[in-house]
Amino acid sequence: MPRTPLTPSSAGRTAHPPTRIGKHSLLVSGHSTSISLEDAFWGRLRALAERRGQSIAALVAAIDERRGDANLSSAIRVYLLEAAEHPAQ
């Protein structure tokens, strides 16, 4: 049986499988919210925000504005998939 790859550990923390779901608290558009995302998606979200020179909260606020009725965590996952398909946007 193949092993699940681990995400890199940082600052001596234990590495976790990329499918582990973590809960993250953010201030989005003046409101405190928490999102549950797999470590792999959280890493992509952080990297995309960094590449764009914005905070994670600012990127999530932009996603939140366009998500419609979708769950915020789901909207973030879909946004990240779209960003991977069209990296220039």
Q: What is the per-residue pLDDT across 69-88, written as a single tens digit (0 to 9) for each?
A: 999 999 999 999 999 998 77
- The model carries a pTM of 0.77
E strands in the chain: 21-28, 31-38
CB 29 within 8 A of CB 62: no
| Cα 82-62-42 angle, rounded to 5 deg | 60
Cβ-based neighbours of 26, under 8 Å, separated by 6 or more: 32, 33, 34, 35, 56, 57, 60
Q: What is the per-residue pLDDT across 19-64, written as a single tens digit (0 to 9) for each?
A: 889 899 999 889 999 999 999 999 999 999 999 999 999 999 999 9
